[in-house]
C-alpha cells in the first residue's frame, strides 16, 4: 500500500522549521548567509523582496527605482537586459525568511542588551566589594593611627605627670630646707636679742657691737621656690610636635602606596632643558636645542611635564631636590598655556610648591604663600587625590607635611610638573624623579 501524501499543515510546519533553522544560522553567523539577505542596491536587509528573471533578488522599491531612472531594464548584478519590463511579484518565502530573521535579530539584540546589563551589574557589585574591602583596610589603618596617637598621648601624659610630681617633691624639699634655715635664724635672732638686752644694761654696749657686728645684722633670708608653667608649656609643645610628626609619618606611608612610575616628556621640554637618557632627570643648560615649536612644548619657561597623565583616582611620586637653590614641583592640567611667560598658580592650572634664592620656600597659590620649614627638604613627595581635589606635598626624609591644596576641582587630565629653574652665573643640580621606597 502506498504511503499517504503529507498534509498541507504538515508541509507548512516542516517549511517553518526549515526557515527557523535557516534564520538561526543567519543570525548567529552574520557571515556569507547573512549577506544573502541583503539587497545589493541599498545594502540593507530586504524589504518586500522580488526576483528578476535572471534569478537575483532585490527590494521591490530599489529595483523599481533603478528601472525608473534607466531607459533599459537591466539586472543591477549581472546586467542582463530584459526586452520587456518584468512584472515584479513579492517572493513570499524570502520575505518570510527576512521577517523571521529580523525578529530573531531583534531578540538577539535584546538578549545582548540584557547580558550587557547583567555584566554591568556584576561589575558594579565587584567594584563595590573591592571598595568595601579598601574601606575596611582604610578604617583599620585609621583605627591603628589613632590608637598609636592615643598611646603617645598617654605616654606623654604619664611623663608630664611624673615631671610635675618630681617638681612638687623638689619644691617641698626646698620648702623644708628653707623652713629649717629660717627656724635656725629665728633661734639665732632670739639669742642675739638676749645678748642685746644684757648689753643694754652695761655702759660699753657700743664697743661690744663694734666687736660683734653680726649681732645687729638680720640674717639673710631666701625667697621660697617659684613653680613656673613654662615646663608645662614646653611639655605640651613637645606633645603637639610628637603628634604632628606621628600623624604625618602615618599619612605619608599611606600615600606612598599609590606610587606611580613616571618619565619626563621630551615633547613638552623647553629647548634649554636637558633630559637624561632614562628621562628621570632634568637640568638647565646654556645651549638651546633646535627643536620644533609644537603646541605641547614650553617655549619661554624652563618647564617640562611627565609623559603620564591621570584623570581619576590617586597617585604619588617623589622628586629629589637635594643641592638645588631654586626649583618648582607639582602637577598641572593638560590644557595649561605653554607659550610665553607663565604664572604658576591654581587659577592657571598649576598646583605646586617651590624654592627661591636658596631659602625662600613658597606655595604657588597666587599670590604665593611663604612656608616656614624646620629643615630643608632633600626629597619632595607629591600626592594627588583626583576625586577629592587634593594635592599634598611632603618632606620625605623628615616625613613632615609641607603644604596642601584642598577643595580643588579637576575636570581633565593632570600631569606631574617639573621646573629646575635657571640660575644666572651658577650651577643648579638636576631635578630627579626618585623611586619610592615604601616601608610598611
294-317 residues labelled b (16+ CB within 10 A) or e (exposed) = eeebbeebbbbbbebbbeeebbbb
Higher pLDDT, 383 or 236: 383
Helix-, strand-, coil-residue percentages of the chain, each rounded to 5: 40, 20, 40
Rounded to the nearest integer, the mean pLDDT of the chain is: 82
* pLDDT of amino acid 198: 66
Whether residue 354 contacts residue 329, with contact meaning beta carbons closer than 8 Å, is answered with yes
Dist CA 112 CA 206 (whole Å): 127
Instruction: Report the pLDDT averaged over residues 264-282.
Output: 95
* pLDDT of amino acid 225: 46
Whether residue 323 contacts residue 426, with contact meaning beta carbons closer than 8 Å, is answered with no
- Report the predicted TM-score, pTM, of the whole model to 2 decimal places: 0.52
* pLDDT of amino acid 150: 78
**pLDDT of 221 higher than 60:** no
* pLDDT of amino acid 289: 80
**pLDDT of 140 higher than 50:** yes
Among 1-5, 86-90, 311-315, which is the least confidently predicted range? Answer: 1-5
- According to CATH, the topology of domain 273-434 is Jelly Rolls (2.60.120)
H or E segment and range at residue 81:
strand 81-82
* pLDDT of amino acid 28: 46
Q: Which of 69, 375, 423, 70 is closest to 248 using CA atoms?
A: 375
Q: Which of 252, 292, 267 is closest to 415 using CA atoms?
A: 267
Q: Which of 331, 320, 435 is closest to 379 using CA atoms?
A: 320
* pLDDT of amino acid 131: 78
Q: Which of 318, 363, 200, 338 is closest to 269 using CA atoms?
A: 338
188-226 residues labelled b (16+ CB within 10 A) or e (exposed) = eeeebeeeeeebeeeeeeeeeeeeeeebeeeeeeeeeee
**pLDDT of 10 higher than 60:** no
Query: Which residues have C-beta within 8 Å of that of residue 88, sequence separation ≥ 6?
Result: 50, 60, 63, 64
Architecture of domain 31-124: 2-Layer Sandwich (3.30)
Dist CA 77 CA 83 (whole Å): 17
Domain with CATH 2.60.120.920 in the chain: 273-434
Decide the pairing of beta strands 350-356 and 73-74: unpaired
Domain with CATH 3.30.40.10 in the chain: 31-124
Q: Compute the half-sphere exposure of residue 429: CA atoms within 13 Å on the CB side of its CA.
A: 11
Give tens-digit pLDDT for 381-432. 999 999 999 999 999 998 889 999 999 999 999 999 999 987 655 567 899 9
* pLDDT of amino acid 12: 54
Whether residue 260 contacts residue 303, with contact meaning beta carbons closer than 8 Å, is answered with no
Give the percent of the chain with pLDDT over 70: 78
Instruction: Report the pLDDT averaged over residues 236-255.
Output: 70
Amino acid at each position: 500500500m502506498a504511503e499517504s501524501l503529507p498534509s498541507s499543515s504538515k508541509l507548512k510546519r516542516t517549511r517553518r522549521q526549515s526557515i527557523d533553522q535557516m534564520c538561526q544560522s543567519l543570525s548567529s553567523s552574520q557571515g556569507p548567509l547573512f549577506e544573502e539577505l541583503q539587497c545589493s542596491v541599498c545594502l540593507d536587509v530586504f524589504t518586500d523582496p522580488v526576483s528578476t528573471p535572471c534569478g537575483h533578488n532585490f527590494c521591490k522599491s530599489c529595483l523599481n527605482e533603478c528601472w525608473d531612472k534607466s531607459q533599459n531594464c537591466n539586472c543591477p548584478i549581472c546586467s542582463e537586459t530584459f526586452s520587456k519590463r518584468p512584472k515584479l511579484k513579492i517572493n513570499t518565502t524570502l520575505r518570510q525568511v527576512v521577517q523571521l530573521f529580523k525578529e530573531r535579530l531583534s531578540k538577539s539584540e535584546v538578549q545582548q542588551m540584557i547580558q550587557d546589563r547583567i555584566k554591568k551589574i556584576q561589575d558594579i557589585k565587584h567594584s563595590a566589594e573591592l571598595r568595601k574591602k579598601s574601606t575596611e583596610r582604610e578604617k583599620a589603618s585609621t583605627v591603628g593611627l589613632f590608637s598609636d596617637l592615643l598611646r603617645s598621648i598617654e605616654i606623654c601624659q604619664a611623663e608630664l605627670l611624673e615631671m610635675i610630681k618630681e617638681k612638687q617633691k623638689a619644691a617641698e624639699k626646698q620648702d623644708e630646707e628653707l623652713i629649717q634655715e629660717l627656724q635656725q635664724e629665728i633661734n639665732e635672732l632670739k639669742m642675739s636679742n638676749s645678748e642685746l638686752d644684757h648689753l643694754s644694761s652695761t655702759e660699753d654696749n657700743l664697743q661690744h657691737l663694734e666687736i660683734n657686728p653680726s649681732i645687729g645684722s638680720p640674717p639673710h633670708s631666701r625667697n621660697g621656690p617659684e613653680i613656673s608653667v613654662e615646663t608645662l608649656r614646653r611639655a605640651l609643645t613637645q606633645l603637639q610636635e610628637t603628634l604632628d610628626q606621628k600623624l604625618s609619618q602615618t599619612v605619608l606611608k599611606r600615600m606612598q602606596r599609590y606610587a606611580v612610575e613616571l618619565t619626563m616628556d621630551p615633547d613638552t621640554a623647553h629647548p634649554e632643558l636637558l633630559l637624561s637618557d632614562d628621562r628621570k632627570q632634568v637640568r638647565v643648560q646654556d645651549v638651546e636645542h633646535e627643536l620644533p615649536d609644537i603646541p605641547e612644548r614650553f617655549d619661554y619657561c624652563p618647564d617640562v611635564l611627565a609623559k603620564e597623565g591621570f584623570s581619576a583616582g590617586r597617585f604619588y611620586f617623589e622628586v629629589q631636590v637635594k643641592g638645588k637653590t631654586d626649583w618648582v614641583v607639582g602637577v598641572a592640567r593638560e590644557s595649561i598655556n605653554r607659550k610665553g611667560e607663565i604664572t604658576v598658580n591654581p587659577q592657571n592650572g598649576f598646583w605646586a610648591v617651590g624654592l627661591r634664592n636658596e631659602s625662600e620656600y613658597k606655595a604657588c597659590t597666587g599670590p604665593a604663600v611663604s612656608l616656614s620649614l624646620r629643615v630643608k627638604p632633600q626629597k619632595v613627595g607629591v600626592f594627588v587625590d583626583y576625586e577629592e581635589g587634593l594635592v599634598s606635598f611632603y618632606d620625605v626624609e623628615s616625613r613632615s607635611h609641607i603644604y596642601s591644596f584642598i577643595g580643588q576641582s579637576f575636570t581633565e587630565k593632570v600631569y606631574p610638573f617639573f621646573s629646575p629653574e635657571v640660575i644666572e652665573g651658577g650651577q643648579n643640580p638636576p631635578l630627579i624623579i626618585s623611586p619610592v621606597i615604601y616601608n610598611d
